Amino acid sequence: MSTLSSQSLLFSLLDKNREFALAARGTNHCPMALSALAKMGASDQQLQNFYDFWSQKFCLPRDQNRCHGGIQGWKASLGRREDFHALQAYFQTEIEVRSVQKVLIDVLDACAFAPATGAFHALIRLSFGLEIGHKGEVAAGLAFLVCANLVLAQPEVVPPKSGLLNTQSVAQRFSLFHRQFKDVSFDADSITARLQLVANDPIFWQTHTQMGEFDNTQSMIDDMAVVAIRLYIQTKNFTVLHMVTGVAALRVLLNSAPTLNQTRIIESFWLAFCAAYVSVGAPALLEDEGVTGVSEHKSEGESAWQQYLELALHSKDDHVIKLTYTCWVENRQRRLPYYLQAMAVLHGQ
């Protein structure tokens, strides 16, 4: 398959998407799904068909709003979702004048990096904009992070339990959360609301603080990716799906802006990642007893991927499209059998 469909049509559809609100009947996933489809080799007709379907069924018209220019202007829009379109326009103008790198670094260094924003969708949208090189979508991702900024902050000073634990793997750390929260439920009507409930729990903060820092942040990202996909295979949980796509988006951001304060970015993501895990009941990570249902023959594995990519290219489900793309990319980079098994789970096989 080609790596990218007709860029002119893709960019045209992404530009047209600015007619719609940040929120749809849910979240406006249209630009993210279009970008994923294009990266998987969708034809122009497939892109157009998806855009027509989504714009007619889910998208809502944008509101008219304004945001003053200048650095104080965008900072004043923190948490003001109604400023999204004005912020997007402002950031795009800044990008045209100063470059993606400079604006990205200025914004993410100046405000709290909140990867939980929009149930990880702000980060995911930013990552797709960076991947395909669409300045308007980079601006949209930054605007989303600012105007819906969801910082998971401690409700008060929470003293850690005595002594730091020598746990360097994500699986070991999640086992600590499992012990604390296996019988706890966080009932709310959205992912973000459940994340906020977790952030209000002092036991969450005590457990998180007790773990200390990771020695190697790059291996930590790989570890998070493996744990997330294993959890998805176990649970087929919708929030866990966003943990999978969120880690992939984090990789794109860090690779696109190596001069960012990467330690701060990764630590913020780790906090959101932990909160997402706890929000779904901190299920025990089952022992890895081998991956079933996945061919050991390379040719058969490639054939299976082609089938799953074709299913995604004809899908109207944005989460199927984005998860398929993420698993495909992660598998190409790390060649782990979990990603092919996740496709079997996704498609009920």
HEC string of the chain? CCCCCCHHHHHHHHHHHHHECCEECEECCHHHHHHHHHHCCCCHHHHHHHHHHHHHHCCCECCCCCCCCCHHHHHCCCCCHHHHHHHHHHHHHHHHHHCHHHHHHHHHHHCCCCCCCCCCHHHHHHHHHHHHCCHHHHHHHHHHHHHCCCCCCCCCCCCCCCCCCCCCCHHHHHHHHHHHHCCCCCCCCCHHHHHHHHHCCHHHHHHHHHCCCCCCHHHHHHHHHHHHHHHHHHHCCHHHHHHHHHHHHHHHHHHHCCCCCHHHHHHHHHHHHHHHHHHCCCCCCCCCCCCCCCCCCHHHHHHHHHHHHHHHHCCCCHHHHHHHHHHHHHHHHHCCCHHHHHHHHHCCC
How far apart CA 66 and CA 318 sit, in angstroms, is 30
Q: How far apart are the first and last CA of the chain?
A: 24
Residue 292's pLDDT is 47
305 within 8 A of 331, measured Cβ to Cβ: yes
**How is residue 79 written in tokens?**
């948490």
Contact 321, 37 (CB under 8 A): yes
Tens digit of pLDDT per residue, the chain (349 long)? 444 557 899 999 999 999 999 988 778 999 999 999 999 999 999 999 999 999 999 988 887 656 555 556 788 889 999 899 999 999 999 999 999 999 999 999 888 899 999 999 999 999 999 999 999 999 999 999 999 999 998 877 656 555 556 667 899 999 999 999 998 999 999 999 999 999 999 999 989 888 877 777 778 999 999 999 999 999 999 999 999 999 999 999 999 998 888 889 999 999 999 999 999 999 999 876 544 444 444 555 788 999 999 999 999 999 999 999 999 999 998 889 999 999 999 988 6
Q: Would you say 110 and 75 are in contact if contact means Cβ atoms under 8 Å apart?
A: yes
The whole-number pLDDT of residue 293 equals: 43
Tell me if residue 97 falls in helix, strand or coil.
helix
- Distance, in Å, from the CA atom of 217 to the CA atom of 100, rounded to the nearest integer, reads 25
Backbone torsions φ then ψ of 337, nearest 5 degrees: -70, -15
CB within 8 Å of 37: residues ≥ 6 apart? 5, 46, 47, 50, 312, 313, 321, 325
Whole-number pLDDT of residue 164 = 54
* Predicted pLDDT of residue 224: 96
